[in-house]
Structure 1
Amino acid sequence: MEWLKYHLSDEGKYFNGKQCEISEAEFILFGAPIDSTSTYRAGSREAPPMIRLASLNVETYSFRTEMDALDLKIHDAGDIPQTPNINEALNRISEIVSEIVKMGKKPIMIGGEHTVTYGAVKALKKPIIIFDAHMDLRDEYPYGVKMSHATVSRRITDEIGAENVFIIGVRATCKDEIEYARRVGLKYKTSLEVMENSAKDLMKEIKLNGNDVWISIDMDALDPSIAPGVGNPEPEGISVTKLLDILQWIAMKKKVIGFDLVEVSPPYDNGITSITAAKIILELACMISKWKTKV
């Protein structure tokens, strides 16, 4: 397991302030500090350490699950090395995620830009629920670039099929992306639809093949008044409460095999987005741990 050499050496920097032995862990967390294709506000490479720091300073009891996140069995494996070569980074992520799943553990990946999600999907080839303000369905962006933060959902769709992708929180797109989604049958919900309907009702419309699912949370799905420190903020986003309500229903109804949280860009706020990200990770991990037994 060569990737284990990237462990953090300072125990005080472990996510949630604890380090579970890898043999006993339910979750293996790692950072993917990659933002080499960011085209607006770069800086998401700085997110993993900032979110770890925030995780040490948020309260850990979850009223949603009646669990204390300090009881979670998380092994923090550190960060993959930064590299400007996006394909090299994605291959490394695929190898790590594959190894974690082979060990019978659940991966948690902290980005980095949203492109890193493709590495996990390529390894698992399982359905995915994506929370994102953007469709990310361009075929190229910028011109001639096939693999970037603005094309990641298109490449994921190429990999696993439109029937295995569901995007939640959309409010920023172009006509070509809408036409592509309609042509291939890719399902999505806008942020307006999300805020107007209950999480329970929304779950009735999430139809994916099988029971296993990967979750990807782009923090720009949230309204920028709540999460200003992101690479591409867009007004009229969803609330943290609504996001957690939906995640809770997913965790109750689906077998979540792992998740990622991406696009926090610490240089653009005073730490509030990293704090929110840490809380979301802790809450979702509690949900998965509590409702992990699925038919």
Structure 2
Amino acid sequence: MSQDHLPPVRPFLGSEYPQAPPEQALFQIIPAPFEATVSYGGGTAAGPEAILAASDQLERYDGTSCPGDGGIHTWPEVDCRGTPREVLPRIGQAIGEALGAHGDRPVPVLLGGEHSITAPAVEAVADHLRHTTGDEFPLGVIQIDAHADLRQEYEGSTLSHASVMRRIHQDLGIPVIQLGVRALCTEEADYRKMKAGPSLTWYDGADLVPPGASPFPFPRFPFPENFPHRVYLTLDVDGLDPSLCPATGTPVPGGLGWYQTLDLLGWICAQRELIAFDLVELAPIPGFHAADYAAAELVYRIMGMISRSRTT
């Protein structure tokens, strides 16, 4: 489908780094402003542009290193006109193109948009790894989220944002670790009980930040035995506490704070190779820039953790 209707590309952190050619960029930014199945507050279609705009306010130095030195290429936003069955394959195709753009393990960074975009991205990364490594089970997924997203369907759609992790775990057969969940239905609780084991593990909000604990506990969790070394991280901003990021459609109290989140991400990157990630469900509030900036900063901090892990 023609991309002629799309606006010019706004590069991620274009205020500090010129747009790198895709073949010279470690980080491949892919905006996907898809919004079709949100069920409470709307606005996620505006999330990618808000993150890109806020990224111009970041410093190139993240406090430890300059992640953008590895090169950043921002692709045109995915054409998100149409139904989920029409749009989601385009997202997978965009991820595949990004993975083939740079010879030395490029890192796709998908900016949503609603959470349903994660399933085709994970599938594209897993397919790429199977082709390049020959490993039948090359990838695990780590989810930071307020919701389990394990429903078989929601409001008549199996491709809903509320079903995305069911699609990844059940349909794609990819192991999942869920972190920070604080809201789930009985169907999801039953699915967890039925599938509990190395392929589906969870450490919910109260597990990571127990009631009565220090305001800044440093969360740790054990990885299941034989959980894949390479991981895809999906970060729904409602996994954060609403005091940090209220700009999301389904906020739930009791989420992770800023330093808890950074420490948790650092722990993940110390234990596994993070090869792709997304940040989804930002629904910008007009005139309220704090959440947009927090999302952009979080994306850049994760990029920093990835780039530093490759030099150690």
Relative to the length of structure 2, the TM-score reads 0.85
- The amino acid of 1:57's aligned partner reads Q
- The amino acid of 1:198's aligned partner reads F
Residue matched to 1:32: 32
Does 1:241 pair with 2:259? yes
With over 3 angstroms needed to count, the CA separation of the structure-2 counterparts of 1:159 and 1:95, relative to structure 1, is: same
Does 1:159 pair with 2:171? yes
- Do the aligned partners of 2:50 and 2:284 also contact (CA within 8 Å) in 1? yes
- Do the aligned partners of 1:29 and 1:76 also contact (CA within 8 Å) in 2? yes
Measured against aligned partners, the alpha-carbon deviations of 1:196-224 in whole angstroms (never above 9, x if no partner) come to 4633x32x245553211100000000011
Measured against aligned partners, the alpha-carbon deviations of 1:121-175 in whole angstroms (never above 9, x if no partner) come to 1212321001000001111101x3111011111111123336x101101001112
Q: Distance in 1 between matches of 2:70 and 2:112?
A: 21
Residue matched to 1:132: 145
Residue matched to 2:187: 176
State the Cα distance separating 1:271 from its structure 2 match. Answer: 2.0
Residue matched to 2:130: none
Relative to the length of structure 1, the TM-score reads 0.90
Look up the SS of the partner of 2:285 in the other structure.
helix
State the Cα distance separating 1:93 from its structure 2 match. Answer: 1.0
- The amino acid of 1:16's aligned partner reads L
Measured against aligned partners, the alpha-carbon deviations of 1:19-67 in whole angstroms (never above 9, x if no partner) come to 112121101101000011111111100011111111111333223xx20
Counterpart of 1:14 (choices 11, 15, 18) is 11
What is the correspondence of 1:92-131 to structure 2 with a 5 Å cutoff? 92-103=90-101, 104=103, 105-125=106-126, 126-131=139-144
- The amino acid of 2:33's aligned partner reads P
Runs of 4 or more consecutive aligned structure 1 residues displaced over 4 Å after TM superposition: 2-8
Does 1:198 pair with 2:218? yes
State the Cα distance separating 1:293 from its structure 2 match. Answer: 6.0
CA RMSD of aligned residues (A): 2.2
- Do the aligned partners of 1:6 and 1:79 also contact (CA within 8 Å) in 2? no
With over 3 angstroms needed to count, the CA separation of the structure-2 counterparts of 1:212 and 1:8, relative to structure 1, is: farther
- Do the aligned partners of 2:37 and 2:160 also contact (CA within 8 Å) in 1? yes
Q: Distance in 2 between matches of 1:269 and 1:146?
A: 34
Look up the SS of the partner of 1:170 in the other structure.
coil
Measured against aligned partners, the alpha-carbon deviations of 1:241-269 in whole angstroms (never above 9, x if no partner) come to 11111111212221111100000001377
Greater shift, 181-190 or 274-283, is seen at 181-190
Q: Distance in 1 between matches of 2:224 and 2:271?
A: 11
With over 3 angstroms needed to count, the CA separation of the structure-2 counterparts of 1:96 and 1:6, relative to structure 1, is: farther
Residue matched to 1:225: 243
State the Cα distance separating 1:3 from its structure 2 match. Answer: 9.3
With over 3 angstroms needed to count, the CA separation of the structure-2 counterparts of 1:127 and 1:34, relative to structure 1, is: same
Q: Distance in 2 between matches of 1:184 and 1:170?
A: 17
Q: Which structure has greater helix proportion?
A: 1
Look up the SS of the partner of 2:75 in the other structure.
strand
Q: Distance in 2 between matches of 1:107 and 1:3?
A: 22
Does 1:147 pair with 2:159? yes
Q: Distance in 1 between matches of 2:255 and 2:6?
A: 35
Residue matched to 1:189: 203
- Do the aligned partners of 2:237 and 2:279 also contact (CA within 8 Å) in 1? yes
Does 1:79 pair with 2:99? no
Q: Distance in 2 between matches of 1:227 and 1:208?
A: 34
Q: Distance in 2 between matches of 1:284 and 1:123?
A: 21
Identity of matched residues, %? 32
- The amino acid of 1:79's aligned partner reads E
Gaps of 5+ in 2: 127-138, 211-216
Q: Distance in 1 between matches of 2:74 and 2:83?
A: 24
With over 3 angstroms needed to count, the CA separation of the structure-2 counterparts of 1:108 and 1:207, relative to structure 1, is: farther
Q: Distance in 2 between matches of 1:269 and 1:225?
A: 17
Gaps of 5+ in 1: none
Greater shift, 273-282 or 96-105, is seen at 96-105
Residue matched to 2:129: none
